[in-house]
């Protein structure tokens, strides 16, 4: 009877030591890797954000975080009507590079050029003279440097994209 008790106590001690070792290992891994909180936007949340963007004139915040590096804002854009068009002078980003991921639809991205006096395109900015044109669509990614004049024309709605600013 005494040997069974000894075996059970020894077994319990080994299990407790193993559990303590595992908990310390996990804590060390998390401390080393800097594990943070992961934010997931499923299709329903993303679609709701695009609907909000359309109602707000074409743009809505998706996610924002402030850290010791500054504030990071990720936004969604929906260019589905004249209400959500770029301003007549086109779009540009002050102080950051925009990484743009096209989620749906298509458009002709026009970069550079100068504004003309013609009326605005149905969904994009004012027609421009010159510039470089690129047809973009779902699954495409482009990187727009700061202070670069650009706009969208020949929009195939729903033209939706996510914009991630990079300092």
Mark whether 98 and 17 lie in a shared domain: no
pLDDT score, position 49: 93
pTM here is 0.69
Q: How many domains does the chain have?
A: 2
Find the largest Cα–Cα distance for the chain: 100
Query: Higher model confidence: residue 4 or residue 102?
Result: 102
Model confidence at 22: pLDDT above 70 = no
CA angle centred on 88, ends 92 and 55, rounded to 5°: 85
90 pLDDT higher than 60: yes
Shared domain check, 121 and 106: yes
- The CATH number for 155's domain is 2.60.120.10
What are the DSSP E strand ranges found in 2-146?
Answer: 59-67, 70-79, 97-111, 114-120, 126-129, 132-137, 141-144
pLDDT-wise least confident of 23-27, 48-52, 85-89, 106-110:
23-27
Checking if the pLDDT of 140 tops 80, the result is: yes
């Amino acid at each position: 009877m005494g040997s069974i008790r000894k075996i059970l106590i020894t077994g319990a001690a080994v299990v407790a030591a193993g559990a303590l070792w595992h908990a310390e290992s996990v804590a060390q891994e998390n401390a080393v890797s800097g594990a943070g909180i992961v934010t997931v936007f499923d299709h329903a949340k993303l679609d709701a954000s695009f609907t909000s963007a359309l109602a707000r004139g074409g743009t809505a915040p998706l996610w924002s975080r402030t850290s010791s590096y500054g504030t990071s804002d990720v936004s969604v854009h929906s260019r589905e009507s004249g209400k959500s068009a770029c301003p007549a002078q086109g779009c540009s980003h002050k102080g950051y590079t925009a990484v743009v991921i096209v989620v749906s639809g298509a458009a002709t991205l026009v970069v550079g050029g100068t504004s003309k006096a013609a009326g605005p395109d149905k969904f994009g900015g004012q027609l421009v003279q010159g510039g470089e044109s690129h047809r973009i669509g779902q699954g495409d990614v482009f990187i727009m440097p700061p202070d670069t004049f650009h706009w969208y024309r020949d929009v195939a709605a729903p033209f939706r994209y996510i914009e991630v600013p990079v300092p």
